[in-house]
Structure 1
Amino acid sequence: MQKKKRLLYLGLAGFCLGFMQKSEPALKDAYKKDFYVGAALNNRQISGQDAQATALIKQQFNTISPENLLKWGPVHPQPDKYNFKPADDYVAFGQQNRMFIVGHTLLWHQQTPNWVFEGENGQPASREVLLKRLEDHINTVVGRYKGKIGGWDVVNEAIDDQKGDLRKTKWVEILGEDFAAKAFEYAHKADPKAELYYNDYSLYRPEKREGVIKLVKGLQAKGIKVAAIGMQGHYGLTKPTIAQVEESIVAFSKLGVHVNFTELDIDVLPNPSRRQGADIAETFGADVKYNVYTTGLPDSVQQQLTKRYADLFALFRKHRDVIDRITLWGVTDSDSWLNDWPIKGRTSYPLLFNRQYQPKPAFRAVMQAAK
């Protein structure tokens, strides 16, 4: 009898959540004349293990990005092994729900297995060997989803944080400065109709902005089309300023490219890092002074978060002629990478939906900004 009561309770709870979500206004509808609004998905959501999040995704968003499953390490862990099941499920989910599907990412210095850069006897791979591996990888992955994935983050985070120069990575060391051009060429060949993007964080900073402008101009000089620059929106409550973000939107649009905000979240917690965005190599040990809201977000901070999102979406809407897509980096607060970066185990509150899958005041403000 107890088991039956429990099952009835769970059923009613699920029905109530579904009813609340159905009655909730949708971001994708509010901004349908402006730009796509989406989220980055994890494996639990794609596989159906997190049914509540899946329902929220279907209701709220019309574009999706994969948080990890299309990065080189997860999809191509060994030279002769590809792991396509999670990616296949991700693409199928997007197709079934008529969403604009994004591929992330083809060339990055992180989450790329060591074997990619290794030659014989532990020596670095030659330029020829690494180019062949890059071409084979892009041809296989992009080719598999040709006509299904609408746009690819081809090159990710290739500009140094400090001076705006090319980041010193194994890609640059072995291939030289044309590594990005080669990646874009291979991606275009594998799917000529897919949009191709450059993606990076802290692009509100003048040094990085100029570095990306130089990179994109170099690609354009070779006849390579960059459809959009992805500005990762890993921001804080006060930094960067709205004016700083807007300066980069305007500067990039002058290149004849569009702008996507690809990884939007707002870190409300004290941060030991230099707050320059999202360098995942920059981590710190646990410290209670950087995890101050373990029992909930104070109302004063909730109000700051709400205003921050409202101001950002007002800016996005102002520049909707050059902005194609806004993607939140996660669905609910519990999904966010900021619970574990730059310190593991924190309780973070960076998104529009809380840990109970309910809209936060920031969500209401974003909906209001659409009017």
Structure 2
Amino acid sequence: MRAIRIVTASLVAAALSVPLAWPGLATPQDGGQHAERGTLRAAAPRGLVIGSAAAGGGHHLDQPYPDPFTSDREYRRLLGSEFSSVSPENQMKWDFVHPERDRYEFGAADAIVAFAAERRQVVRGHTLLWHSQNPAWLEEGDFSAEELRSILREHVTTVVGRYRGRVQQWDVANEIFDDTGALRTQENIWLRELGPGIVADVFRWAHRADPRAQLFFNDYNVESVNAKSDAYFALITDLRAQRVPVHGFSVQAHLSTRYGFPADLRDNLQRFDDLGLATAVTELDVRMDLPESGVPTAEQLAQQADYYRRTLQACLDVEGCRSFTIWGFTDKYSWVPVFFEGEGSATVMREDFSRKPAYHALRRTLHEARRR
């Protein structure tokens, strides 16, 4: 086996000296000084973690601001106080963490994991097998099927093993079906070159690397009962019959006020819960078409708040849905305007971190659930 260089910054190494608790023990009520009164994490009922993506990497590298996670003090304060779970937005994806075949860059991911441990937050790892954000050396390399399989296994074992006992949930296979319910066999290098059986192997490898982590399928446009979510239901049923360690199914919930709310979200989550799976909402945001002024109307903000509230309520109504994550909490660093021209204002806070009606709708819904 060829030698592999693992690179981390000395500052991150120092941060990792913080004792790391098993993430399953960190709940919103255990947050101590970090569960400030009036925050989302303080309002959450016992057993439910409230998360946010930690901005950095990916499209942020091309924006006219320094890395949010490391440079914005108020952003870090709110990320630590408002949430009991953190997801690296891009910092654990292949192109960021494995930029060369023989080199890993763990500095940014290590810093997030250390930040979470210090604030008694859990971590969602994102992601191990995906068709997007792969490094050029991988996508453009001339590898045999045997070499590709070895590369994937080494990556999964190395990354999951590094955070053994410190990542609560992993998005193991991300977006492997298209909207018709067909596997992405052309877009996804792993499915195309190694066949669909590689999905089961990745779950097995991840489980061996960290037997305590919960392993998930994760996708968008699966909030409703439809061809895509049906494909996951059938695949997971088959994999579990083979005793493949699949533990959860999660809906990303990138929603838009252009479209109606997925009213059967709760029923869809429930059918996966009935299989014995954990369920989760992992990447919620609600984008909208902005007026010429760039400032949402009161009606738009009310509709957005309703979508946030109904998504949270659907999760609360399903016993096994115990992880609820929004994909960033401030418009200052949202991915939406970069990828959806003319749309924006998708998060629960404005660029100045003032709270929108969506934030208050989430906190009120959490508080009501906690009182029950």
TM-score range, shorter chain: 0.7 to 0.9
Q: Deviations over 1:49-95 (max 9, x none)?
A: 11111111111100000000100010001111111111111111011
Q: Deviations over 1:316-345 (max 9, x none)?
A: 2222x12011110012012111011133xx
Mapped to 2, the partners of 1:55 and 1:213 lie a distance apart of 39
Mapped to 2, the partners of 1:221 and 1:301 lie a distance apart of 45
- What TM-score comes out, normalization by structure 1 length? 0.82
Aligned residues: 321
Match of 1:110 among 126, 132, 137: 132
Which residue of 2 is the match for residue 52 of structure 1? 74
Alignment-mate amino acid for residue 229 of structure 2: R
Deviation, 1:347, is 6.1
Match of 1:145 among 135, 151, 163: 163
* 1:294 and 1:347 in contact (8 A); partners too: no
Judged with a 3 Å threshold, the aligned counterparts in structure 2 of structure 1 residues 218 and 353 are, in CA distance, closer, same or farther, namely: same
Alignment-mate amino acid for residue 33 of structure 1: R
Alignment-mate amino acid for residue 236 of structure 1: S
Mapped to 2, the partners of 1:292 and 1:192 lie a distance apart of 49
Mapped to 2, the partners of 1:216 and 1:22 lie a distance apart of 36
Match of 1:42 among 33, 45, 55: 55
Deviation, 1:114, is 3.5
Which residue of 2 is the match for residue 12 of structure 1? none
Mapped to 2, the partners of 1:294 and 1:134 lie a distance apart of 47
Q: Please, which runs of 5 or more residues in structure 1 have no aligned partner?
A: 1-20, 270-290
Judged with a 3 Å threshold, the aligned counterparts in structure 2 of structure 1 residues 311 and 83 are, in CA distance, closer, same or farther, namely: same
Match of 1:185 among 198, 204, 218: 204
Q: CA RMSD in A?
A: 1.9
Q: Are 1:61 and 2:83 counterparts?
A: yes
Deviation, 1:308, is 2.1
Mapped to 1, the partners of 2:308 and 2:173 lie a distance apart of 27
Which residue of 2 is the match for residue 310 of structure 1? 309
Deviation, 1:313, is 2.2
Deviation, 1:242, is 4.2
Alignment of 1:179-328 (within 5 A): 179-203=198-222, 204-237=224-257, 239-269=259-289, 291-319=290-318, 321-328=319-326
* 1:101 and 1:148 in contact (8 A); partners too: yes
Which residue of 2 is the match for residue 164 of structure 1? 181
Mapped to 2, the partners of 1:347 and 1:333 lie a distance apart of 11
Judged with a 3 Å threshold, the aligned counterparts in structure 2 of structure 1 residues 35 and 23 are, in CA distance, closer, same or farther, namely: closer
Which residue of 1 is the match for residue 344 of structure 2? 348
Mapped to 2, the partners of 1:157 and 1:191 lie a distance apart of 22
Q: Are 1:175 and 2:194 counterparts?
A: yes
Deviation, 1:145, is 1.1
Deviation, 1:24, is 6.3
Deviation, 1:118, is 5.3
Match of 2:92 among 70, 83, 89: 70
Alignment-mate amino acid for residue 76 of structure 1: H
Mapped to 2, the partners of 1:237 and 1:154 lie a distance apart of 29
Deviation, 1:108, is 0.4
Mapped to 1, the partners of 2:340 and 2:355 lie a distance apart of 26
* 1:234 and 1:265 in contact (8 A); partners too: yes
* 1:252 and 1:259 in contact (8 A); partners too: yes
Alignment-mate amino acid for residue 328 of structure 2: G
Judged with a 3 Å threshold, the aligned counterparts in structure 2 of structure 1 residues 174 and 242 are, in CA distance, closer, same or farther, namely: closer
Mapped to 2, the partners of 1:115 and 1:58 lie a distance apart of 35
Which residue of 2 is the match for residue 285 of structure 1? none
- When Rg is computed on C-alpha atoms for both structures, the one with the higher figure is 1
SS of equivalent residue, structure 1 residue 241: coil
Match of 1:96 among 106, 110, 118: 118
Alignment-mate amino acid for residue 305 of structure 2: T
Which residue of 2 is the match for residue 331 of structure 1? 329
* 2:284 and 2:327 in contact (8 A); partners too: yes
Judged with a 3 Å threshold, the aligned counterparts in structure 2 of structure 1 residues 83 and 260 are, in CA distance, closer, same or farther, namely: same
* 1:260 and 1:326 in contact (8 A); partners too: yes
Mapped to 2, the partners of 1:304 and 1:50 lie a distance apart of 30
Deviation, 1:126, is 2.1
Mapped to 1, the partners of 2:257 and 2:164 lie a distance apart of 39
Judged with a 3 Å threshold, the aligned counterparts in structure 2 of structure 1 residues 215 and 114 are, in CA distance, closer, same or farther, namely: farther
